[in-house]
Amino acid sequence: MRVRELAEWLGATFEGDGEKELSGVAPLETAESSELSFVGNRKAAEQAGSSAAGCLIVPEEWGSPSHRTVIRAAEPRTAFARAVSRFHPTAELKPGVHPTAVVGKDVVVGALVSIGPHAVVGDGTRIGVATSIGACATVGKRVVLGEGCVLHPHVTVYDNVDIGRGAILHSGAVIGADGFGYVMEHERWHKFPQVGRVEIGDFVEIGANSCVDRAALGVTSIGEGTKLDNMVHVAHNCRIGRHVVVAAQTGFSGGVVVEDYAVIGGQVGIGDKARIEARAVLGSGCGVLTSKIVRSGETVWGTPARPLRQHLEQLANLARLPALRREVAELKRRLAELERRA
């Protein structure tokens, strides 16, 4: 693809050799003369001069040498992501039901649906147009899959789950497993029946080996556009809002509420019935205590989670403890010497 064509497709402007042919994309440090890369931050801008990339997507205000071919975009990273999809288009869907797949009774299958080898679809399920169900995936009874969903191989969707259009479930994801609910009677744990449901909104992406549990009663829900990384656990009766991003190995206890556009780092633990308000940011590894409220727009870190400035101040105080210990030891020595002389 020529630079000129790519710029037009992106709705951006270019400078330099518009006829240069680009064959692919690559990181800034390894890109070759026929490849596209991008400048997304200050460090990348410093590396750009030594990059051999044939074309760079750069910020609109970036000053570039006259010999460099560039495409200027308001959001270089976003533009580059779109360019990647142009060079690496999604594999073409091949509609049809594989002979080894098992499809139950009263299943409604939309046009252009693909059901792969050894996949299982339960009775009364509805599959939207152009949805793909990968090899060995299991979809339970009375499930609704919206248009254009992608279930990668070995995904498991339990009964009575609704999944919106354009959702992507990666291998090993389990949607609708029983929540972790038990009651104690006569010194033994007895299972609390988990009879609720799961609802997943449009354009949600759920990473490999993640689990979204069904509600004990009611609904566990994940809102439109939310993205869960690999190995994320969403417990029963959680309500995750729209366009939330959650990094790997994070766990939500039962009844947690996360409002729209929150950002949650990796290995975060969130206690029962905690509330994360809109656009809050939880730093990686932090712990949110049961019923805690993280206020809208607030950034928290540490365990227990606290405002970032407070957390950093406490870390600085901890770093000073060895010196403080030495000072106290010296004062004790001097006091002992004064007492001896007295």
Residues classed as catalytic: 236
CA distance 129 to 165: 9
User: Given the structure tokens 């976003």, which residue do they identify?
Assistant: 78
User: Given the structure tokens 């990686």, which residue do they identify?
Assistant: 284
CA distance 238 to 275: 10
Helix extents (H) in the chain:
3-10, 42-48, 76-87, 308-319, 321-341
And the tokens for 22? 């680009």
CA distance 57 to 142: 47
User: Given the structure tokens 């870390």, which residue do they identify?
Assistant: 315
The answer to whether the CB of 233 falls within 8 A of the CB of 216 is: no
Return the DSSP state at 2: B
And the tokens for 122? 């339960």
Count of other CB atoms within 10 angstroms of residue 337: 10
And the tokens for 157? 């969707």
CA distance 36 to 70: 9
And the tokens for 152? 């990668």
